[in-house]
Amino acid sequence: MSKQQPPGTQIAWDDSVLPFQLDASDIRGRVARLDGVLDGILGQHDYPPQVEALVAEMALLTAMIGQTVKLRWKLSLQVQSKGAVRMIATDYYAPEEEGRSARIRAYASYDRDRVTDGDPFEQVGDGYFAIMIDQGEGMKPYQGITPLAGGSLSACAEAYFAQSEQLPTRFQLSFGRSSGLDEVEHWRGGGVMLQHMPKASPFAASGQGTGEILRAGDLVDGDEKENWNRVNILLDTVEDLELIGPSVPPTDLLLRLFHEEQPRVYDAQAVRFGCTCSEDRVRQSLSIYSASDIEKMTTDEGRVTADCQFCGAHYDLDPATVGFEATSPGE
């Protein structure tokens, strides 16, 4: 009997984001392939299929958008809604230095009893889609929001870039569980992001706009509109297996779709599932509480416990060592 291979070890270009530029059309983009990242994110939770799909979509969006931020910056995407899925939160931690992997984490908060069969986007109700960028200590974080609308989280992200950044943007994604011969079933996802080259630097705050929600096509005209429409028509021809299948490297995919647009690729960015939680961070978060507050958090077993929503890590602390009135040093 052949031995099953673990997920995430089959394909060299998995868990990477490849930036590219289409010189003939003044359009840039990214191709993302996620494998172990999605398994790391979704394997921590027992989400219903509709919630899994929303988290996978958010993770892909986060990988492609996050690749644009600078070293040591943090990008976060968040959905807040009144629907069955109350919140989806993702974080992208850019590498500390060139050549290192970026890290992605994500989780969803939801009411299991309210989740229904059908389109995953139906699980979110009225609310907003937000993008936040933390440039580091001493810098003011940037945040922009757009309503939850358009039928998918990808459409919300496209509307955000049109509304807040005046950047025509398009996403094409595919994701799901995959299994092959001698291979453990695991998550795979792939996507392409297109963005018209900005006239100003990306993420320069320019206001939310008023009236109707802007779309990508509202921001281009003349030759730019012709280029944008042509490249989008080419992207519409992509097949799911080309986005997530094992036989088409990202570079080959770009040539298949855009060979007449003169694609030029840059160094790929490796990404991995990673969380920043730690016992020190838990202690820091509890440092604002008094001894009486800590007592209310103490379990019947005489411990203060905390679980990380992102990675599932469990922390078990002596109540005497936490809070600003702690009487014993940390363990």
Show the DSSP H helices in the chain as ranges: 36-42, 49-66, 153-160, 222-235, 240-244, 250-258, 279-286, 291-297
Contacts of 215 (CB under 8 A, 6+ apart): 158, 159, 162
> What confidence category does residue 210 fall into, taking pLDDT thresholds of 50, 70 and 90?
very low
Write the pLDDT tens digit of every residue in 145-203.
Answer: 999 999 999 999 999 999 888 899 999 999 988 766 556 777 899 999 999 986 543 44
Q: Read off the pLDDT band of 324 (50, 70, 90).
A: confident
Strand, coil or helix: what is 123? Answer: helix
* Pair 42, 52: CB distance under 8 Å: yes
**CA 50 – CA 83 distance, rounded (Å):** 13
For residues 224 and 193, the model is more confident at: 193
Whether 16 contacts 95, CB under 8 Å: no
What is the average pLDDT across 215-234?
84
- Among the ranges given (20-29, 48-57, 173-182, 236-245), the one the predictor scored with the smallest mean pLDDT: 173-182
Give the separation between CA 32 and CA 240, rounded to whole angstroms.
Answer: 13
With a cut of 60, say whether residue 4 has pLDDT above it.
no
Asked whether the predicted pLDDT for residue 64 surpasses 50, the reply is yes
- Taking the C-alpha atoms of residue 167 and residue 23, their distance in angstroms, rounded to an integer, is 17
For the chain, percent of residues with pLDDT exceeding 70? 88
Q: Which range is most confident: 48-52, 161-165, 298-302?
A: 48-52
The SS3 of residue 278 is coil
Rounded mean pLDDT, 74-96: 95
62-91 exposure pattern, b = at least 16 Cβ within 10 A, e = fewer: bbbbbbbbeeebbbbbbbbbebbbbebbbb
- Residue 155 or 224, more confident: 155
Given pLDDT bands bounded at 50, 70 and 90, which one contains residue 253?
very high
- Of the candidates 123, 208, 124, the one whose C-alpha atom is nearest the C-alpha of residue 159 is 208
How much is the pLDDT for 208?
Answer: 39
* Predicted confidence (pLDDT) per residue in 307-318, tens digit: 888 877 788 888
Mean pLDDT, the chain, rounded, equals 86
Write down all domains in the chain, each with its CATH number in brackets. 16-203+212-273 (3.55.30.10), 279-321 (no CATH)
Average pLDDT over residues 240-266: 92
Tokens of 232: 């989008």
Q: Compute how many other C-beta atoms are within 10 angstroms of the C-beta atom of residue 182.
A: 11
Closest among 81, 34, 25, 101 to 61, alpha carbons compared: 34
> What is the sign of the dihedral through the CA atoms of 54, 129, 121 and 218?
negative
